[in-house]
Amino acid sequence: MSAFPEYLSELLYRYGVTAVFGIVGIPIVDLADAMISHGKVRFYGFRNEQAASYAASAYGYLTGKPGVLLVVGGPGVIHALAGAYNSISNKWPLIVLAGSSEDSNRGGFQELDQIALLSKYVKYSSRLNNSNVEESFYDALRQSVLGTPGVSYLDIPANVIDQKVENKKSFPVRHVTKAFYQPTDTALQRVSKLLNASRDKNILCVIGKGATDSAQQIRSFVDEFQLPFLPTPMAKGVVPDSHALNVSSARSLALKSADVVLVLGARLNWILHFGEAPKWKSDAIFIQIDTAAEELGHNNAKGTLFSLCGDIGATVTKLTSLLDGFSARGVPEPLQKRIHQNEERLRAKEHEPTPMLTYNKVYAAIRKQIVDKDTIIVSEGANTMDVARISFPTDYPKMRLDAGTNATMGVGLGYAIAAKVAHPQKNVVAIQGDSAFGFSGMELETASRYKLGMIVVVMNNSGIYHGENPESKSTPNTAPSTALSQGCRYDLVAEGLGCRGFLARTQAEVDDAFAAASKEAARGRPALINVIIEPGPSGKLSFGWQNKAKL
C-alpha cells in the first residue's frame, strides 16, 4: 500500500510527466510536497492560478505532451479556468488536477461541483478515488492528446488524499502515441484536380500554428511547388521567415490577390478575416487541411468540398504525388514590389528621429542582440504584440508565442516560464506592454525563485493601448480610461522580487541594458528592462490586426 500523494507522483512520472505547474493550498499541498519529495516530478509553485494555468497551457503546446496544472478547489479552479479556456481555444493538451471538498452540498470548505462546471467543456473528467486513479489518469492523458488536443480534468476529494492506494501490478503503463491518419484518395484527388487546373491563378499558402509539428513536410511542399506563403503569428518559422516565398511583408495585398488559398492548420477566424471580402476576393476558393475535422468548412463558401482531414505533414506529402507538373510560379511581381516597399518603410521607422523611444526603435535594438535559433520570444499587449510580429522574424517553429486565438492578455510571464522550463537551453525574452505586465508581474518572483534566467522587456507607454500626453493636466478622475500612472518604475519592482532591474529611456540605454540583462539571465537570474516609450497617438480604439493593413 502507498499513500495517495506518493502513489500519484510516481504515476505521473511513469507517464512521462516531469513538470507540474500550480499553487498550493488545502488539501492539495500534500500532493505538491509529495512531488518535491519524490524528486522526479518538478513542481513549479506560482503566485496565482491564472498565470500557472497559462504556463501549463503553453507547456503543452511547446512539448506536444500535456501540461499538468495542480490547483485547489473552488476559487482555485475558477482562477484556473483562464488556462483551460486558453488550451481549449488553441487546441493544446492540458490536464488539470484540482482538490475538492469532501462535504457535498453541505457548504464545505471551498465547495464547488467542479465536475458539473467543467464536464461539458473539457474532453474528459473524472473524480479520483483510491481504486480508479491509474485508469482515470490514463484516460485523461489519452483524451487530451488524441484527436483534437484539449483539456482533461481530474477531481481529487480531500478525503482521498489521506487514503492509501494498493500497488496494482496488473495495470502497467500504457503507451499513448500520436495517431496519424490521412484523407481519402477521393478527397485528395478532388483537391489535386483543382490545383492542377489553377496553374495560371494566384495561389497562396496560409500556415497556422496547427501545422507547427509538420515543418519539414511543409517546407518541402512550399519549395516543390514554389508556393507563396503567409504564416499566422504563431506559425512563424514553420517555413523560414527569411524564405524568398514569404509574403508576410505584403499581407494585405497577398490576401486580396489570392484566387486559391491552401489553409494548413489555420482557422478562417478573425485573424484571417473570416475568409470574406473585402480582405479576400469574393470568389476566392479555400482548401482547408487540418487535423481538426470541426474546423473544416467553417467560414468557407465551398463548405467542406475542398477540405482534407488528416495529419498535415502526411497529407501534403500525399498531395505532392498527385500534383503532376504543378507550380504556383513563385511570388508575383506586384507582391515583390510591395514587399520591398513595406520592408523599406519598416526600416525607416526604426531609424527615424523621435523625441522619445518607439516600439520600432526599441525592437531594432533588441533584434541586433538576439540569435534567432537560440531565442524564444513571447510578446503580449496590443501595440507591443502587433509591432513585434513584424519586427522579429524567425526561421524556426515554436519560437514566437503571443496572445494567440483568444487575443488574451496576461499570458506573458506564464508563457515565458513555461518556455524556459520546456527548453532550458534557449534564451527566453518576454516583451510586454505595461498594461499586460500588470496581469502577472508578481510571477517575476516565481522565475527568480526557480532561477529561470529570462529577460522581460516592459514597453512602458503609461497606458492601455496608448498612454496620456505627459503634459496633460488631467486628474485621476478625469484621465482617459486607458491611462496608467506615468513612468511606473517596474525595474524597481523587479529588484524587490529578486530580479535585476534596468531603466532605459534612450536607444543607447536599451542596448546597454539588454546586453547586461543577457549576462544576468545566463547566470540564472531573471532581468527586467523598463523601457519608457512615447505614449502614442490618442483616438478611437479598434483592433488593428483586423482593420489596418499590416506590413
329 lies in the same domain as 356:
no
413 lies in the same domain as 472:
yes
Please say whether the dihedral angle defined by the alpha carbons of residues 236, 242, 246 and 249, taken in this order, is positive or negative.
Answer: positive
User: Is 81 within a domain?
Assistant: yes
Q: What is the DSSP letter of 357?
A: B
User: Is 345 within a domain?
Assistant: no
479 lies in the same domain as 509:
yes
Q: What is the CATH number of the domain that holds 297?
A: 3.40.50.1220
17 lies in the same domain as 105:
yes
Which of 129, 125, 127, 126 lies closest to 165, judged by CA? 129
User: Is 486 within a domain?
Assistant: yes
80 lies in the same domain as 158:
yes
pLDDT, residue 286, reads 98
User: Is 171 within a domain?
Assistant: no
Residues of the chain with pLDDT under 50: 545, 547-551
Q: What is the CATH number of the domain that holds 28?
A: 3.40.50.970
360 lies in the same domain as 473:
yes
145 lies in the same domain as 194:
no
Q: Which amino acid is at 291?
A: T
Quote the domain boundaries for residue 508. Answer: 352-547
435 lies in the same domain as 502:
yes
- What is the rounded distance in angstroms from the CA atom of residue 52 to the CA atom of residue 31? 16
395 lies in the same domain as 535:
yes
Q: How many domains does the chain have?
A: 3
Query: Of 264, 298, 333, which residue constitutes the final position of a domain?
Result: 333
509 lies in the same domain as 536:
yes
pTM of the model: 0.94
Compute CA 57 distance to the chain's CA centroid, rounded to the nearest angstrom: 8
The x, y and z cell numbers of residue 449, run together, are 525563485
User: Is 6 within a domain?
Assistant: yes
User: Is 496 within a domain?
Assistant: yes
